[in-house]
Structure 1
Amino acid sequence: MGRRAWGTVRRLPSGRYQARYPDASGKQVSAPHTFATKADGNRWLAKVQTELDSGRWIDPRAGQETLEVYAERWVDTRLVRGQPLAPRTAELYRAQLKNHISPALGSTPLRQLDASAIRGWYGKLSGPDGPGQVTAAKCYRLLRAICTTAVDDNLIARNPCSIRGAGQERSSERPMFTVAQVQALVDAVEDRWRSLILLAAWTGLRIGELSALRREDLDLTAGTVSVRSSVVDVIGQERSYGPPKSAAGRRTVAIPPHLIDDLEHHLATYAQPGAQGLVFVGPKGGPIRRNNFSARVWAPAAEAAGLPPGSHLHDLRGWGATLAARHGATTRELMHRLGHASPTAALRYQRAEQERDAALAAAMSAALKRSEGAASS
């Protein structure tokens, strides 16, 4: 048996050589393969020792569990700013894993995941037969985050998710309603839901925030609505109320004065009693359920108002933000109104208005040229 300062190399009955080294606990670990010569085994041991000293060493026994098993544990133990994943976020991650990641990659051991496999998976997911680029981008970001943690856990040497730009969503342009369409939508819903649609459009509150509003959150004298809570509906779990998902989401938003009379009527007619009473409830007094509201209230009203197919209640939030940008709202003001910690969305709405302004200027020039041409003919 040959020996060196660290690790051992011994000749096997087959004539090949086996290299072994002590792990952190002192247990002897064999190389994952044998070597043709003793010198090859010694060179491999030297490489392992260098990686150990530099903190780049990956135990060859690590990464043997499948992606599906590791990913489920990742969702269960993931911390964001020191807190577990929100129930709704965990539900979304599990759905992405179940529907789009695990069927193709779930049975693959972590250590066998490579860039080629990831490219093949992403190519199919983002292709014409896949669920669409936005879903593909979300799933890619999730897989990349899981693999990043696997690298941190010393289960794999590097992250196999290396496709440039794959995690960037290129959403199709959402419909931009006219003021007349929004008013038609308000007129199409039952009186019980009129104020909810108005607040969604003119203040930009999310459906989860609207569902959690209580009487004490509305100050109609000052003309403000305070967002202190949000509803989380997770399949198979009881509904829960919690703080907005970010500190920026906790905010007080000014209500356009023309909504005050509608809100006063709503509070007097439909809201639960008491300061803690919910502002928006169903005909039987129960809280709003997102899916039920979309199917029973939003869909028929959107069709009656002539909104583009595929329009969502969330599109009213974008409409309100674009309208605010059109009337001169700054990036910081839009961030506050929307409850965003990042300026990305605010800049998008401002950019849309700039592009619209440029299109209007071009149309004005075109109209002038047409009038000049008519005058000269």
Structure 2
Amino acid sequence: MDSGRWIDPKAGKETLRVYAERWVETRLVGGRPLAPRTAELYRAQLKNHILPALGSTPLRQLEASAVRAWYGKLSGPSGPGQVTAAKCYRLLRAICTTAVDDNLIARNPCSIRGAGQERPSERPMFTLAQVQALVDAVEDRWRALILLAAWTGLRLGELSALRREHLDLETGIVNVRSAVVDVIGQKRSYGPPKSAAGRRTVAIPPHIIGDLEHHLAVYAQSGPQGLVFVGPKGGPIRRNNFSSRVWAPAAEAAGLPAGSHLHDLRGWGATIAARHGATTKELMHRLGHASPAAALRYQRAEQDRDAALAAAMSAALGQPNHTEST
């Protein structure tokens, strides 16, 4: 007790289910409660992947062996996949870390090295021709949205919250100041971007300014506070409706790889920016990321690009490439 290592044997009696729900309700990040979408995601991970196996276990009885068995099944062939398993493991580890801080358990039972690291499969990388085909495939109402998503890297939530006052087409910039927050069972709301880095000003490539001017004149809501992108009936964009009614048929018509998402345009835009000399810091700003790792995930290494780099290295030494020597 004098050393501060003593744990009250009466502590930790409540189950993981009870403690985890309280943890989600009271969790603070940067001094603020969890964002509604984040809390919804955590509750879904708990309900679907963590609590069915471990929820009835009292905290003080949650052993490392039980966590290993749970994670092994979750990350195995019958589980939801490695990325989901890593996300759920990180959530459980964070909950147990707080339990240690609360002196409810003596040590964190989540001790599997590397279990929280995601190893996502490579997302599809579009060609310029495919992006142009996608732009041509959507209705005129959605043309500017696709162009802005591709060439500025804005997220759908940021595009959905974009208002006229956020666009300055004379100087060619878009000010990202808010994002749509859609939570199941709750009324739509508008809040700040995902992080402080998400509040940013992004330069718009000049070649799409004309499309944006046309869009504002024909489709956007009126007034400075008017939403830039709305549906045919004048209502705000709904993610699921947009994905099924706009994106899916256009992606198929454009010949995009199966499973492509609007979010993949962020990766395309980041790669194009990198090819034209954007530094990691510049990519972080453009995409609204606080860490270099997050921004670099969106850069893709394609085989044709890699071959061009190899040829350029040979050229720098004055050596002929394979084609010239044969």
Same fold (TM over 0.5): yes
Report the Cα offset of residue 361 of structure 1: 3.8
How far apart in 1 are the matches of 2:291 and 2:304?
23
Alignment pair present for 1:90 and 2:39: yes
Report the Cα offset of residue 331 of structure 1: 1.0
Counterpart pick for 1:108 among 44, 57, 73: 57
How far apart in 2 are the matches of 1:361 and 1:237?
50
Superposed CA offset, 1:228-249 (max 9, x none): 1110000000000011121111
Q: Give the 3 Å change call, closer, same or farther, for CA 163–359 of structure 1 in structure 2.
A: farther
Q: Give the 3 Å change call, closer, same or farther, for CA 98–298 of structure 1 in structure 2.
A: same
Superposed CA offset, 1:221-264 (max 9, x none): 00000001110000000000011121111011000001111000
Say if 1:326 and 1:353, in contact at 8 Å, map to a contact too. Answer: no
Q: Give the 3 Å change call, closer, same or farther, for CA 307–357 of structure 1 in structure 2.
A: closer
Partner of 1:26: none
Residue identity in the other structure for 2:188: R
How far apart in 2 are the matches of 1:143 and 1:108?
13
Counterpart pick for 1:310 among 246, 255, 259: 259
Report the Cα offset of residue 372 of structure 1: 3.7
Superposed CA offset, 1:186-217 (max 9, x none): 11111111100100000000000000000000
How far apart in 1 are the matches of 2:156 and 2:235?
15
Report the Cα offset of residue 180 of structure 1: 0.4
Say if 1:126 and 1:133, in contact at 8 Å, map to a contact too. Answer: yes
How far apart in 2 are the matches of 1:81 and 1:356?
43
Partner of 2:158: 209
Residue identity in the other structure for 1:258: H
Counterpart pick for 1:342 among 276, 291, 300: 291
Residue identity in the other structure for 2:125: M
How far apart in 2 are the matches of 1:196 and 1:149?
42
Question: Cα RMSD between the aligned structures?
Answer: 1.8
Identity of aligned residues (%): 84
Q: Which runs of 4+ in 1 moved over 2 A?
A: 345-350, 352-365, 367-373
- TM-score computed with the length of structure 2 as normaliser: 0.95
Superposed CA offset, 1:72-118 (max 9, x none): 11001101111100000000000000000011111111111111111
Partner of 2:113: 164
Q: Give the 3 Å change call, closer, same or farther, for CA 369–183 of structure 1 in structure 2.
A: same
Partner of 1:218: 167
Report the Cα offset of residue 363 of structure 1: 6.7
Higher relative contact order (CA 8 A, sep 6+): 2
Partner of 1:261: 210
Residue identity in the other structure for 1:236: G
How far apart in 2 are the matches of 1:227 and 1:304?
30
Alignment pair present for 1:129 and 2:78: yes
Partner of 1:150: 99
Say if 1:325 and 1:353, in contact at 8 Å, map to a contact too. Answer: no
Partner of 1:117: 66
Superposed CA offset, 1:30-65 (max 9, x none): xxxxxxxxxxxxxxxxxxxxxx11111111111111
Partner of 2:125: 176
| Greater C-alpha Rg | 1
Q: Give the 3 Å change call, closer, same or farther, for CA 195–369 of structure 1 in structure 2.
A: same
Report the Cα offset of residue 371 of structure 1: 5.5
Report the Cα offset of residue 348 of structure 1: 3.5
Say if 2:219 and 2:229, in contact at 8 Å, map to a contact too. Answer: yes
Report the Cα offset of residue 303 of structure 1: 0.8
Alignment pair present for 1:369 and 2:318: no
Say if 1:59 and 1:155, in contact at 8 Å, map to a contact too. Answer: yes
Superposed CA offset, 1:151-204 (max 9, x none): 001110000000001101001000000000001111111111110010000000
Partner of 1:300: 249
Partner of 2:15: 66
Q: Give the 3 Å change call, closer, same or farther, for CA 160–356 of structure 1 in structure 2.
A: farther
- TM-score computed with the length of structure 1 as normaliser: 0.82
Partner of 2:317: none
Partner of 2:308: 360
Partner of 1:44: none
How far apart in 1 are the matches of 2:147 and 2:154?
10
1:252-291 correspondence to structure 2 within 5 Å:
252-291=201-240
Query: Number of aligned pairs?
Result: 321
Residue identity in the other structure for 1:369: H
Say if 2:182 and 2:188, in contact at 8 Å, map to a contact too. Answer: yes
Alignment pair present for 1:232 and 2:185: no
Superposed CA offset, 1:342-365 (max 9, x none): 111223345x45987543344787
Partner of 1:11: none
How far apart in 1 are the matches of 2:45 and 2:131?
33
Q: Secondary structure of the residue that 2:201 maps to in structure 1?
A: strand
Report the Cα offset of residue 370 of structure 1: 5.1
